[in-house]
Structure 1
């Protein structure tokens, strides 16, 4: 049987394969999270552009209003994305119920 040293720990071939598969799975989740956040922030930004905020903005404060709308968009889009990702994770975890 062959043993390998990975990060100072002696492991067998199966243990290394399992660790690599686990790390690949974490990488996929990270990539899905990044893409999900970007997509939902973009969708939220498009929806915020439709709303007329002009009556609420003081004259000469247009730049600050755009920054505020950007921050509100990021908060809403990230929240929706987090809900989507958590719901997806919960649905995958249902197999452990039975």
Structure 2
């Protein structure tokens, strides 16, 4: 299933900047960055729940926010891209 993850982490303190780096790194490990604080994750439900749990443990809910948009398996009909930044095919070939 495709999930769009966005976050806003307060960076007014060094602890906030550390949280921001950790949240970004966790997202990069499991999803594709499509904007500065926006990631697309094409994961099975179990993997998504693990990622969500890790992210919830990293943020400070008093200062930060996370948003999860559940696009499901038919996500291609729900996403429209316009602009210079090239898109990618999450179901395509990945070269490591």
- Common fold: TM-score over 0.5: no
Looking at secondary structure, tell me which structure has more helix per residue: 1
TM-score where L is the length of structure 1:
0.26
Higher relative contact order (CA 8 A, sep 6+): 2
TM-score where L is the length of structure 2:
0.27
Structure (1 or 2) with the larger CA radius of gyration: 1
